[in-house]
Structure 1
């Protein structure tokens, strides 16, 4: 058995793992990164990036279909057709460029990448199975960083395989499903449901809760619900899938205490959440302190074992690529002896539905639950000139600020392109901005960002354009 020694060993080459490895190498730490599949992890390969690519395909196809009829813009076009195989090639090209870029960055910064599947022997030793020949590389390290990510939740009566798929398979379909049933109305389920509906599939969504996007407050999700109706996506709330029919041609669903009914389906997407990946690589040998299904860490990404670190999805919610990246940087710098901690005032989250939903910081209900007296104000995109020129006046921006000091605690928005406002939301919260600060900043005109300024102005009682 071959052996190798390094200062830092990173297990997992996703957003958190590769960022941690690069930053550590920049700081002069000898670093080895082990990845069994493709660099870039879930986000670049089978998550964030490919899903946004297919959402764009759906949006463009819907626009082209719109122009084949009567358009108020005066544009007339022939009825479009969709080549899903070519769309997948385009999507895969983007993924390839990004993952190739990650590989080049790791190489440029001196990170040694080991392709293979890691198994932890102890806190200082990992064995990596390489290739099909049974070759094993033993790596000894001073610091071990876990960045193993997460995996989709499987339903007991609907295991993955055949026509039942996770988001991974849903992002790689070569043929458009005739009848797609989506189980779960969270952000993954709704993003893909809307994309496939815009591409022409009949789509039905089944959600166990009483409303869509249950992690967001209802005022934000109302516009998304209306969009589901506009797109003719059938929605069953307070309903659960029991399994496939005997002939495999449909999904058995039970709604409340009502009788069971069947939804026709040639593809079933199970999108009911993700869980930390903690099995299959010997993590149990470390006997780390856990927090539910995730590894418990402190604000420096330390686990309960000295010199064993964890970042990203394996360390629990929120399971967001940008959180993993930020934690990766913090962990690398702490290992290098720097004084760092991961204690953001806000981590933005975006749901790329139609319309988009973006949040950062505290919602009105969360602030109230903490006993904070607040001022809450919103500004509609119906009064925003740029939104009008984009034919996207649906939605609003909302701010939550302390009543006494006007310090901004949270932002929420729903509307076209609000994902791009999330950065401004985070800046305002992290830098301790007050309503007066945002109101006094000169915002470019015309732009969706003007709604951010107008929201602050309205909270102060002197909005200009409403």
Structure 2
């Protein structure tokens, strides 16, 4: 495309080349639409470059080192040396391979790639500004547009990411040296995953969380094994506190993070009461803020196209990813919770197919989620309580990992597989897994929900022995009162 003060046209404009955007662009290209994909940073978006992929690479690498150094029960005695520079180079190589692959796939599917920042200039036009002196800008006219600009880390007052000791997740994944000590603000999935990484690198980690437990939003029986494993790695937790400020330590190295106790609601329902606990002071070399993410919608001049957002900046959409403007779609993080890369990819495919006139729609019924802690957590569909609230008579089956031969041979016996089904028809409604490779195991239950499979279908499907996946079969058998390797309910 020509760079300069010119106007060009395209059938489909995709803004943002993360997992939602590049998938939408490729799918639109497969459907013989003329597609232009605009990206201002790096192909693959936050997920491939600064989030999902680099974090999982470091999780895998630090797991190897930790397992090797803690395998005395297996008769293995080792003390591996960690070369952080080498580890980061390997991680970067994985990222480069994947992001390069995205660019090649886009080009192979005739997607026009355009680097720059897009802002709406009208109902069917955007202005794309190019970085660099003298690069200028250009106007793009489109028939349909797909917004896939993703999300960014939330800042909290007093902890701006421009300050050297204050890190967001992207900066934490690119450190050149291992910090001796680290305060992590937020015990959500990002905070907990990175707590494990740094603890295994030898960092003294303290996690600060305003709520009462780690992984808020997950039931206690799911989060408890993760919290206990983190504690066994030396991670300290301070619950019921919010980060208030930080300052350099006088006559010393590092910083001091001041945390205030969370105020409690007044008994009469009025204003918040001051909590009884005293403020905490936590000394550390760095502080990582991981309190969530917010949509990147403020850079788009959405008002120029008449596109509406909610009070949090998310762009509301229907089951075909359409915004309030029929020809503009929003997919991925910018379209709202849950902020999951695979959710965004699915939405991107649907948006492209709808634009091409295909009978496609979004279905979140079998949307899995995973936390890549130790052990992992995988969920899909409904919990027992949610099933009851929706009018089902839930039938629950559970299989503990301590009864799994494969789990014991891996020295990983913490966790379980739980299946929730409709008692009358036997249809699978949901599942919760705490186990090694839970992110992989949950796929079978997602497929079961998608296909309308029953407990009988899973229980009668022969699973390879010895594997972790047998636990899924045993959980289904347990719900039916037929489990062999655990006591039936």
Q: TM-score range by the shorter chain?
A: over 0.9
Provide the rounded CA distance (Å) in 1 between the counterparts of 2:467 and 2:302.
49
Q: Secondary structure at the match of 1:288?
A: coil
Provide the rounded CA distance (Å) in 2 between the counterparts of 1:110 and 1:104.
10
Cα displacement string for residues 15-64 of structure 1 (whole angstroms, at most 9, x for unaligned residues): 01001101101111000000000000011000100000111121112123
After TM superposition, the structure 1 = structure 2 runs for residues 58-207 of structure 1, keeping only pairs within 5 Å, are: 58-67=62-71, 71-77=72-78, 79-132=79-132, 133-161=134-162, 162-207=164-209
Cα displacement string for residues 170-226 of structure 1 (whole angstroms, at most 9, x for unaligned residues): 110010011110000000000001110011100000011111111111111111121
**Partner of residue 442, structure 2:** 422
Q: Secondary structure at the match of 1:269?
A: strand
**Partner of residue 304, structure 2:** 285
After TM superposition, the structure 1 = structure 2 runs for residues 381-400 of structure 1, keeping only pairs within 5 Å, are: 381-400=401-420
With 415-424 and 182-191 compared, the bigger mean Cα shift is at 415-424
Tell me if the contact between 2:124 and 2:305 (Cα under 8 Å) persists in the aligned partners: no
Provide the rounded CA distance (Å) in 1 between the counterparts of 2:340 and 2:255.
35
Shift of residue 306, structure 1, vs aligned partner? 2.2
Shift of residue 246, structure 1, vs aligned partner? 5.1
Cα displacement string for residues 88-116 of structure 1 (whole angstroms, at most 9, x for unaligned residues): 11000000000000000001110000011
**Partner of residue 41, structure 1:** 45
TM-score (norm 2): 0.93
Q: In the alignment, is residue 273 of structure 1 matched against residue 275 of structure 2?
A: no
Segments of 5+ residues of structure 2 without an aligned counterpart are: 263-274
Cα displacement string for residues 255-298 of structure 1 (whole angstroms, at most 9, x for unaligned residues): 34212121111111100001111112212323323334210100
Provide the rounded CA distance (Å) in 1 between the counterparts of 2:171 and 2:69.
26
Shift of residue 85, structure 1, vs aligned partner? 1.2
Provide the rounded CA distance (Å) in 2 between the counterparts of 1:275 and 1:243.
22
Tell me if the contact between 2:255 and 2:286 (Cα under 8 Å) persists in the aligned partners: no
Provide the rounded CA distance (Å) in 2 between the counterparts of 1:351 and 1:292.
28
Q: Secondary structure at the match of 2:475?
A: helix
Corresponding residue pairs, total: 462
Provide the rounded CA distance (Å) in 1 between the counterparts of 2:168 and 2:315.
24
Provide the rounded CA distance (Å) in 2 between the counterparts of 1:364 and 1:289.
36
TM-score (norm 1): 0.97
Q: Pick the aligned partner of 1:27 from 11, 31, 37.
A: 31
Provide the rounded CA distance (Å) in 1 between the counterparts of 2:123 and 2:81.
55
Q: In the alignment, is residue 373 of structure 1 matched against residue 375 of structure 2?
A: no
Tell me if the contact between 1:253 and 1:262 (Cα under 8 Å) persists in the aligned partners: yes
Segments of 5+ residues of structure 1 without an aligned counterpart are: none
Tell me if the contact between 1:223 and 1:395 (Cα under 8 Å) persists in the aligned partners: yes
Tell me if the contact between 2:152 and 2:294 (Cα under 8 Å) persists in the aligned partners: yes
Shift of residue 329, structure 1, vs aligned partner? 0.7
Q: Secondary structure at the match of 1:461?
A: coil
Provide the rounded CA distance (Å) in 2 between the counterparts of 1:409 and 1:265.
45
Q: Secondary structure at the match of 1:290?
A: coil
**Partner of residue 459, structure 1:** 479
Q: In the alignment, is residue 235 of structure 1 matched against residue 237 of structure 2?
A: yes
Q: Pick the aligned partner of 1:252 from 242, 258, 273.
A: 258
Provide the rounded CA distance (Å) in 2 between the counterparts of 1:285 and 1:193.
42
Provide the rounded CA distance (Å) in 2 between the counterparts of 1:214 and 1:304.
32
Provide the rounded CA distance (Å) in 1 between the counterparts of 2:248 and 2:51.
32
**Partner of residue 460, structure 2:** 440
Tell me if the contact between 2:23 and 2:349 (Cα under 8 Å) persists in the aligned partners: yes
Provide the rounded CA distance (Å) in 2 between the counterparts of 1:210 and 1:394.
22
Tell me if the contact between 2:68 and 2:76 (Cα under 8 Å) persists in the aligned partners: no
Shift of residue 131, structure 1, vs aligned partner? 2.6
Tell me if the contact between 2:244 and 2:259 (Cα under 8 Å) persists in the aligned partners: yes
